[in-house]
Amino acid sequence: MAVYRIGHYGGAGARHVVTGDAVRVVPQAKPRSTATGIIACDWPVSWTLEVPTTWVSGLFLAVFTSDDGHRSYTPFVVRDTARRSDILVVVPFTTYQAYNLWPFDGYTGKNLYKGYVSEGKVGGNPERAFQVSFDRPYAQGGRPRWFEMETSAARWLEADGYDVTYASSLDLHDGRIDPSKYTVVVFSGHDEYWSVEMRDCAESAVPAGTHLAFLASNNIYFHIRVEDSADGRPGWVVTCYKEAPDPEPGESGPTVRWRQLGKKHAKAEQKLMGVQYNGIIEEPAPLVVQESGHWFWSGTGLRDGDHIPDLVAVEADGFDPSMPRPENTRQTLLSKSPYDDSMGRGRKIQNTSLCENDQGTLVFVAGTFAWPLALNEPDYLDEQVGRATKNLMTRMLEPRG
């Protein structure tokens, strides 16, 4: 077991931290799903990593290599909640698990979207799970879906020398994070699955004067419960019934889309962020700039109507006038990008949004999956996106009052 810390490191992208002694292991039984579709591995512990107090907070990757050369991975975060860093990066582990189709074997695996209908064929909602467990590896080698958003953002932030610590979405849920200790909280990737505790934490940041930056899109979409494992370990199961009846909705309501909770969509994600998820993109489309005179676009050389090629990709956010928006804020829509929705819902508009309240606290939403990738991933790299994001961080880190 070798452990690496993700970062810039002169362009290497990671630093080797430690390699453990060889461990003898034996094959384990493949678990079956229960009535809720949950798949949990009741396997014995074969190796434990004691994290030294000298380790720097960060995004880490454990690499497991067998004698015959097979490799698999698992990511984890080392937090340092005692330190008041300028920026806290939140890594979306609840969303990672929601998409995890392990075991990817043709007939067993399930996630919160789908499961197998017959050997080798993936079905849809009727076959999906209502609960997923952290007691299982991530499918197809162990890197969660869209993990490169997190690695790209982490490498970019650390390359520019920002003062950064890291936490997981479960740390928000468990109350380990006081957002008022940080100047900026960055949600670096696709952070779709939120408990009420996670949302309460994020919503408390803005009146406390902490800026929020959502670097991707489709955030705070599904309401979840984070529940105990079968043997009582807290925070081990993600529950989301979506369209199906939720048997135990609790005080926070059923596990449906956030915009379906409260009167007149009172809990819609746009109420906090200013925009919200509005479609899946059929083919990558250009981001069309507007409000080019705004400080956000300073130094990019961009003008209104200019295109940043293929930046609107995978999923998009946009402003919905029928939904609530943040109160006592000035909102600037920094892009207006047409795209074709792959679900047959016609032509849609993507918006990159910036909201500023009366105290000068900012909430930024990039509104596209490709934004964090454009910061450091070679196939997506875009200097104008990097400059605009640096403008944002500079403004967010300026002293106020």
- Give the chain's residues under pLDDT 50: none
Looking only at the bridges linking them, the beta strands covering 362-365 and 211-214 are: parallel
340, HSE (Cβ side, Cα atoms, 13 Å): 5
Instruction: Determine the pLDDT at residue 213.
Output: 98
H-helix or E-strand spanning residue 393: helix 383-396
Taking the model in full, what pTM does it have?
Answer: 0.97
Contacts of 32 (CB under 8 A, 6+ apart): 39, 108
Task: List, as one string, the DSSP characters of 321-361.
Answer: TTS---TTEEEEE-B-EEEEBTTS--EEEE--EEEEETT--
Instruction: Determine the pLDDT at residue 343.
Output: 81
103 prior amide bond cis, ω within 30: yes
Instruction: Determine the pLDDT at residue 401.
Output: 64
DSSP E strand stretches across 92-162: 116-118, 121-122, 131-133
User: Contact at 8 Å (CB) between 89 and 186?
Assistant: yes
Show the domains of the chain with their CATH numbers. Answer: 2-396 (3.40.50.880)
Instruction: Determine the pLDDT at residue 377.
Output: 96
**φ, ψ dihedrals at 185, nearest 5°:** -110, 120
